[in-house]
Amino acid sequence: MYRKLLFAGMLVLSLSTCKQGIDKETYTKFQTRGNEVTNLAQGTLLAKVGSAIQQGGPEYAVEFCNLKAGNIVDSLNQVYNCTISRVSEKNRNPENELKDKIDEDIWRAFSTNNQSDTLLVGKNNFVYYKRINTAMPACLKCHGNPETDITAATKEKLMTLYPNDLAVGYKLNEFRGLWKVEFMP
């Protein structure tokens, strides 16, 4: 029943897409851009966090996971004329919560299927979403089982910086969050 509602919702979304007369070419263009810019953001973030882990362990690397740290997304936002963020239902940083009904609907859809990305067409903008899974064992050093995967020092650091942290208890390859890229055409 619930699934049916969800698919009906997706259908309405795609119908309204047609109504606004967005052609396949534009759709593909923004979907491709979204994929590109999130790959670049993710690559930069992983490289920074990876080298920080090597330098000082996960407790030291905690501070390198924020997108604002080291201007990771600032220049990408400018080059691609977009706003990049990450959102999650079980967010660590309070700023990364699901922001509205659309975020929530997309979240539910991505939780029940294995979809990797989607592009929504708004009145004046495009919003690209892409799945983030805990795809590497390293993710669990900060998002895994607090008893077995996360060291005491890392837990302490996380508790100090993120007292309302919801982002623990994950296993490998679980749905962890969404990249969200808002384009202003």
Give the shortest CB-40-to-ligand HEC separation in angstroms: 15
Residues that bind ligand HEC (CB under 6 A): 49, 58, 61-62, 65-67, 86, 88, 91-93, 96, 132, 134, 136, 138-139, 141-143, 167, 176-177
Tokens encoding 84: 């990049």
Which one, 75 or 173, has the nearer CB to ligand HEC? 173
What is d(CA 65, CA 87) in angstroms, rounded to the nearest whole number? 14
Nearer to ligand HEC, 3 or 104 (CB): 104
Token pair 């239902």 in the structure block, residue: 89
Q: Give min distance, CB of 27 to ligand HEC, in A.
A: 25
**Whole-number minimum distance, CB 126 to ligand HEC, in Å?**
21
Please identify, using beta-carbon distances, which residue of 28 and 55 lies nearer to ligand HEC. 55
**37 closest CA partner among 120, 117, 108:** 117
Nearest distance from C-beta of residue 61 to ligand HEC, angstroms? 4
As a whole number of angstroms, the distance between CA 31 and CA 179 comes to: 13
129 neighbors 106 (Cβ within 8 angstroms): yes
Rounded CA separation 102/104 (Å): 5
